[in-house]
Structure 1
Amino acid sequence: MTPANLAAMCALAGLDIVALTDHNTCGNCAAFCRAAEERDLLALAGMELCTREEIHVVCLFPTPHHGEEFEAYVSRRLPPLSNHPAVFGHQIYMDAGNLVLGEDPRFLAGHTDIGLEEVSRLAAAFGGAAFPAHIDRPSFSLLGVLGLWMPELGFPLAEVSRQCPPEFRLRPDLAGLRLITNSDAHYLDQVWEAEHTMELPERTAAAVLYWLQGTR
């Protein structure tokens, strides 16, 4: 799934607002955003950050530059490990024309030493917004690890998977919390057609981030 192919599939699926969120890197966001904008999609740069507690948090930014600055900080808090492509696959960076630019030698599939309590503040400091990913899943999720939603962590909303059972949303600790659903696509055939909408004052990345931050 290359950045350009992903953008093309998003356009084919009729999506309007899209983001690329690789594990612990924003390295392909510039290519994805350019390919998406060529197809008249509103694209945000992003990262699926893995915290010290092994909880996945989606971090979104208005431009690839913002995402790259955030990644520069995150990279200093990655473990000093090298990737093993035979086990974890190649970590390739590409341009908007599917030309390979290089390969990241770092181990990006693991966790950083960034604590969950830091993430909301950090994302905001780099101009972005953050929310815990797929909290209804048993692994790599806030509720799967901690067992209980904690408002003091500063997240105004959370993501649930498409398969989230209706009764999950009725948990007392989630009362009043906004829940959103994204594709979380790892393969092109997992990019599904638009099923959800955002009411925004304008079609901009800033408006999306304000919405995610709870300032609708």
Structure 2
Amino acid sequence: MDKVAIDLHVHSILSPCGEEEMTPNNIVNMALIKELDFIAVTDHNSAKNLPAVMAVAKELGGGLCVLPGIEVTTKEEAHVLAYLPTLAAAMALDQIIYDHLPEVMNEKELFGPQYIMDENDKVIGEVDKLLISATDIGVNQLWEMITNLGGVMVPAHIDRNSYSLIASLGFIPLDLDIKTCEISKKETVESVLKKFRFFKDYQFIHGSDAHQLEDIAEREYFLELPDMQRQTLINYLG
């Protein structure tokens, strides 16, 4: 087994709350500087910067593997992380999610820009709908969508008092085949289990939820995996 360093919750400039420094090249280079093995760029309700991030990681090499991801807001206003095995699967989910967002346009003077970039950090477009809106997709329906694409759902920052499945529902639906939950970097597994005893049957990952470069995790959160394949990580999480 290899001990791999992860940060599976990073936002790019596409997320309206992401800083302008969160470009594809900056994210990948910072992850390499911090000697991470796996990262996931998980923008709010969109995967449109994943092609650039993955192209940069491939071009630069260095052993960094990018797991395609999206942070989806369900109709219950819960944040969940969708991890997909391929870029094509992530882009398919991206289109589904976009179609389920309300017709609320982004006001970038208020919320910030939602830039789509290429592998040279050039702005090639913007997303018009406000990406921090809640979709009209329920958590059970979203789980089925992600699973049908070969992916896995991980409830995001379940320790938080807002925008988590626990804050929104008070529980994780037992009919969903969920194996892994994410906890905030300020928490420990022990502290979460002390507050929520029913989580004893789940495994946990930490995520930085980085919106600026300095917040991308150091080499501090580890998993033991037999190899550095995306599918291996998907299998572990699900």
Q: What TM-score does the superposition give when structure 1 sets the normalisation length?
A: 0.94
CA offset digits 1:88-117 (Å, max 9, x no partner): 111000011111111111111110001011
Q: 1:168 aligns with which of 192, 200, 203?
A: 192
Contact 1:161 1:181 (8 Å CA) reproduced: yes
Say if 2:27 is the partner of 1:10. Answer: no
Unaligned 5+ segments in structure 1 are: none
Match status 1:194 vs 2:219: yes
Say whether residues 1:157 and 2:175 are aligned partners: no
The reply on whether 1:61 has 2:61 as its aligned counterpart is no
What root-mean-square deviation, in Å, do the aligned CA atoms of Structure 1 and Structure 2 show?
1.3
CA–CA separation in structure 1 for the residues paired with 2:172 and 2:191 = 16
Q: Deviations over 1:138-180 (max 9, x none)?
A: 1100111222333223211110001125332232211221111
Question: Which SS does the other structure have where 1:130 is aligned?
Answer: strand
Residues 2 and 98 in structure 1, CA contact (< 8 A), matched pair in contact too: yes
1:1-216 → structure 2 map (5 Å cutoff): 1-37=22-58, 38-39=60-61, 40-164=63-187, 166-170=190-194, 171-213=196-238
Is contact 1:27-1:93 (8 Å) kept?
Answer: yes
**Distance in 2 of aligned mates of 1:31 and 1:211:** 26
Distance (whole Å) between structure 2 residues aligned to residue 9 and residue 115 of structure 1: 35
Q: Which has the higher contact order (CA 8 A, sep 6+)?
A: 2
CA distance in 1, matches of 2:85, 2:170: 32
Unmatched segments (≥5 aa) in structure 2: 1-21
Give the residue type in structure 2 aligned to 1:194: R
Write out the 4+ residue segments of structure 1 that deviate beyond 4 Å after TM superposition: none
Q: Which amino acid aligns with 1:198?
A: L
Query: What are the superposed Cα offsets for residues 41-64 of structure 1, whole Å, 9 maximum, x if unpaired?
Result: 111111000000000000111222
Give how far 1:127 is off: 2.0
Q: How far is 1:125 from its partner?
A: 0.9
Letter of the 2:67 counterpart = L
